[in-house]
Amino acid sequence: MAVLVLLALSLTAPPGSAPVVAHRRLVGGAAGPAPRPWIDRSSDTVLILGHAGGERLMSRILWPATGAVEVVTEVWGSWERHVTIIVPADVDELRALIDEDGDLTHVAALTDPSGRVVVNPDVFGALSPAGRQVVLTHEITHAAARGTTSDLTPYWLAEGLAEYVAHRDSPTRDRSIAKELADEVRVGRLPVRLPARHEFAGERQAQAYQEAWLICRFMVERAGEETLLRVYRRVSAGADSDRVFREELGLTEEHLVEHWREYVERRLG
C-alpha cells in the first residue's frame, strides 16, 4: 500500500540531471559515509535517480511512471508534469534518506513535500506490474496536488484522491481492490465515520485507504470528477467542509457518511 509521508528528502544529483540539494548524510565526513554515485533514467516527464545495480528496477519504473503522469494530468489538470523518483540501494539507504527509524516493512513508496517520490526497493520490487502502476499513480497524484494540499486537507481526502486516481481505470473488481474492507462488510461491519488520520498507520491501515478511495469515488459517481476536485481545493483552502459538501454534493457531512455507507454496502456486500 502506498503511503503519503511528509518528510524532507534531498539528494546529490548526477551530472546532467535536474538539480537536487545535497543531504548531510550523503556527503561524507563525520555526518556519514561517502556518497554512492548516482545514475539516472529519464523521459520527458520523469527523472529516476538510482545506483549501479539498480538499473533493472529503474527501467521497470520509468515507463509506468511516465504513463502515470499522463493519467494524473488527465484528472488533476494543470501542474508541472514532471516528477523525480529516487531508488535507494536498500532499506538502510532509504532510512538514511528520509531519516526514519520506524517500520518500513510494508511501505512501497513515499512522497516528500517537494513532490519527489522515493521507493522502498525491497517492497516495490516485489510488486506485480499492476501493483507498481497503482503505487506510482498514487504517489504522483500527491506530487501533482502538493501545491493545493495543506494542513487543512483531511487526510482521508488526500489519500482518497490519490487512491481514486490510482484505481480510476482499473478493470479489477471492487471486492478485490478493497478485500479487507469487503471482508468486514460481509460480516455486517460497515464504517460509521470518515476514517481518522491515525487509522492510516494502524491495524486497519488497508481498510482506511479503501474507505477513503470509496468516499472519493462515491463523490465522483454522484457529481463528477470536477466536483471532487473542487471539494479538494476548497477544503484545502480552509472552507468549512460541511458547507462545501452541501454546496457541491447537496449533502451535509452527516448525510454524506450515510450515503457513503450505503454505497460501500452495495459495492462490497
Same domain, 95 and 167: no
Determine the 3-state secondary structure of 191 from DSSP.
coil
In a domain, 120, yes or no: yes
The residues pairing with 84 across neighbouring beta strands, listed in sequence order, are: 47
Confidence of residue 95 (pLDDT cuts 50, 70, 90): confident
How many C-beta atoms surround the C-beta of residue 83 within 10 A? 25
Is residue 246 scored above 90 in pLDDT? yes
Phi first, then psi, for residue 224 (nearest 5°) are 100, 160
C-alpha cell at 64: 509506468
Determine the 3-state secondary structure of 180 from DSSP.
helix
What was the pLDDT predicted at 249? 98
Confidence of residue 125 (pLDDT cuts 50, 70, 90): very high
Residue 252 near residue 246 (C-beta atoms within 8 A): yes
Confidence of residue 97 (pLDDT cuts 50, 70, 90): confident
C-alpha cell at 230: 473542487
C-alpha cell at 65: 511512471
Same domain, 176 and 63: no
Same domain, 191 and 135: no
Range of the domain at 264: 155-268
Same domain, 205 and 136: no
Which of 145, 176, 195 is where one domain is finished? 145
In a domain, 10, yes or no: no
State the Cα–Cα distance between residues 121 and 88, nearest whole angstrom. Answer: 7
In a domain, 11, yes or no: no
62-81 per-position pLDDT tens digit? 999 999 999 999 999 999 99
Is residue 186 scored above 90 in pLDDT? yes
**Number of domains present in the structure of the chain:** 2
Same domain, 106 and 160: no
Task: Give me the mean pLDDT over the 246-264 stretch.
Answer: 98
In a domain, 211, yes or no: yes
Q: How far is CA 267 from the centre of its chain?
A: 23
In angstroms and rounded to an integer, the radius of gyration of the C-alpha atoms of the chain is 19
Q: What is the mean pLDDT of the chain?
A: 88
In a domain, 251, yes or no: yes
Confidence of residue 106 (pLDDT cuts 50, 70, 90): confident
Same domain, 172 and 138: no
In a domain, 198, yes or no: yes
Confidence of residue 33 (pLDDT cuts 50, 70, 90): low
Residue 172 near residue 182 (C-beta atoms within 8 A): no
State the Cα–Cα distance between residues 134 and 125, nearest whole angstrom. Answer: 13
126-167 per-position pLDDT tens digit? 999 999 999 999 999 999 999 999 999 999 999 999 999 999
Is residue 268 scored above 60 in pLDDT? yes
Which of 145, 180, 197 is where one domain is finished? 145
Confidence of residue 41 (pLDDT cuts 50, 70, 90): very high
Is residue 18 scored above 70 in pLDDT? no
Residue 49 near residue 72 (C-beta atoms within 8 A): no
Residue found under cell 461491519: 189
In a domain, 85, yes or no: yes
Same domain, 66 and 117: yes
Q: How far is CA 10 from the centre of its chain?
A: 19
Same domain, 98 and 40: yes
Residue 150 near residue 237 (C-beta atoms within 8 A): yes
Same domain, 139 and 173: no
CATH code of the domain containing 47: 3.30.2010.30
Cβ neighbours of residue 108 closer than 8 Å, sequence gap 6 or more: 1, 2, 3, 119, 120, 123, 124, 127, 131, 135
What was the pLDDT predicted at 6? 32
Q: Are strands 83-86 and 46-50 parallel, antiparallel or unpaired?
A: parallel
Confidence of residue 34 (pLDDT cuts 50, 70, 90): low
Which of 118, 145, 172 is where one domain is finished? 145
Same domain, 94 and 45: yes
Cβ neighbours of residue 58 closer than 8 Å, sequence gap 6 or more: 39, 41, 48, 50, 87
Overall pTM surpassing 0.85 (yes/no):
yes
